[in-house]
Structure 1
Amino acid sequence: MKKQELIHLHSLLAQVQHHYETEAETSVQHDEYAELGVKPTSIHKSKTDHKDAVFALADGLTSDMVAESDEPLTLTAD
């Protein structure tokens, strides 16, 4: 995968995170991702940096989604 493609994927994952946080009304904490200090707009960072950021962001998002799906479901009567 080319660096430009990784940056695009990184940007898409950041949008997924924003959408998920909006829909779930939560804030997702990604310690590993935050420690990397690589944002989708960090075009000066290396291809490897963006690859690491993509994996960290994807891992953080899926971990949070799995944790949320393990919570008991509450039903409300309409």
Structure 2
Amino acid sequence: MYKDEMIQLHQFLVYVLKFLAEDDQIRNDCSEYITLKISPHHIHKTKAEHKHAIFVLCKIISQVMAEKDENAIPENVRNSLSDLVTRSESEINAD
């Protein structure tokens, strides 16, 4: 996937998260994403950083959906997303 496509996906996931979560919940759930200090508008960030942000957003979205409906996202999928976040973080730190 090209970097500009990653940025578009990143923006889409931000919209999805805002749609799913109430304002107070977003502040609580998104602390991991907020600490990344990367948004879709930061086009100077690397492709790997946007990829990591995408994985973090996917993980948060799956958690929000699971809180609303336990059967919405299987636990093994949420665990796999957590693993992806960890792996992508280590890739960024290796660079």
**Which protein shows a greater Rg?**
1
Structure 1 Cα separation of the partners of residues 3 and 58 of structure 2: 17
Gaps of 5+ in 2: 71-95
1:27 aligned onto 2:25: yes
1:46 aligned onto 2:54: no
Partner in structure 2 of residue 73 of structure 1: none
What residue identity is the alignment partner of 2:16?
A: V
Normalising by the residue count of structure 2, what TM-score does the alignment of the two structures yield? 0.64
Partner in structure 2 of residue 8 of structure 1: 8
Gaps of 5+ in 1: 71-78
Runs of 4+ with deviation above 4 angstroms: none
Select the structure with the greater relative contact order (CA < 8 A; seq sep ≥ 6): 1
* 1:18 to partner: Cα distance: 1.5
Alignment RMSD: 1.6
Residues matched between the structures, number: 68
* 1:51 to partner: Cα distance: 0.2
The answer on whether the counterparts of 2:13 and 2:54 sit within 8 Å (CA) in structure 1 is: yes
Normalising by the residue count of structure 1, what TM-score does the alignment of the two structures yield? 0.76
Identity %: 32
